[in-house]
Amino acid sequence: MYSSLRDAPVNTELTVLGVNRPDLAFWLQGMGIFVGSTVLRHDSEINYHPVRIRGCRGDMVVPAGLGIKVFVHTDEGEKVPLVEMKKKQTGHVESMTCGRGCIAALKHLGLEEGADITFVRALPHMDYVTVLDRQRRTRLSEGEAARIWGRGEDGVATQFYFARQNTSFQVAEIIGGKKITQHLKTHGVEPGKTLVLKAIEQVQELYDHKPCSEHITISSPGGLRLYLSLQKAAEITVRSVTSDQESDE
């Protein structure tokens, strides 16, 4: 019996039978997954963390929701999602699966295909207590703070993640697509707004710090772990290896 990867059983070896979208098929091939390849779908939730990396323009913070979409070819010859790199590991960006707007925005940080990077560390989940336009107070996750691009009082363009406490920060752009842009707008954060970071506090509840969209996690035969959106997973047709074996008997 075959189904889409989105509806396939978990903790089960699956044979890839086809990919409906040519662009997705091409990207999977670059990751070493072809029609006929065997993959494993995982059921456990991944506790995503934002990561701090160093590139040609210095240190940057990549939110977890973007870090799972950036694949790095390490200097050891492995391909891994950015969020799974190890401390002090080096490599270059192999591919990025986020939208065009997100890819363009990440160039602000010097993060693009071919860019050399060094993994600094995974970051703990924190809340950024923030005042908007000197009136409204809100709490932003560290990932949300990393998606806000603008300038502090010193005039240097940077992420709000690196903002100094009790100083004005002018929002210029949101790093990401429509979904995160609309989400931050519900907090009152959008280009043109003035933010003031008041405090950074440890998070007690991690629910709001997971990526804003659901993902399906699979592993390739070579051990590469891929995080696919539900929409992409629905475009991949698979069949359990057990079913293949039973049909051969």
Tens of pLDDT, residues 41-87: 887 555 678 899 999 889 999 888 788 889 999 999 999 999 999 99
Query: Domains plus CATH for the chain?
Result: 2-42+221-248 (2.30.30.90), 51-122 (no CATH), 126-207 (no CATH)
Higher pLDDT, 44 or 21: 21
Query: Is this prediction's pTM over 0.75?
Result: no
pLDDT > 90 fraction of the chain, expressed in percent and rounded:
46
Rounded to an integer, what distance in angstroms lies between the CA atom of residue 44 and that of residue 198? 36
Average pLDDT score, the chain: 85
Tell me the pLDDT band of 248, cut-offs 50, 70 and 90.
very low
Rounded to an integer, what distance in angstroms lies between the CA atom of residue 179 and that of residue 185? 10
Average pLDDT over residues 209-217: 64
The tens digit of pLDDT for each residue in 91-109 reads: 999 999 877 777 877 887 7
Q: Which residues pair with 173 in a beta bridge?
A: 149
Higher pLDDT, 231 or 108: 231
Q: If 0-12 CB within 10 Å is exposed, 13-18 middle and 19+ buried, where does residue 103 land? A: middle
First to last CA, the chain: 15
The residue to which tokens 């399906």 are assigned: 216
pLDDT > 70 fraction of the chain, expressed in percent and rounded:
89
Report whether pLDDT(209) > 50. no
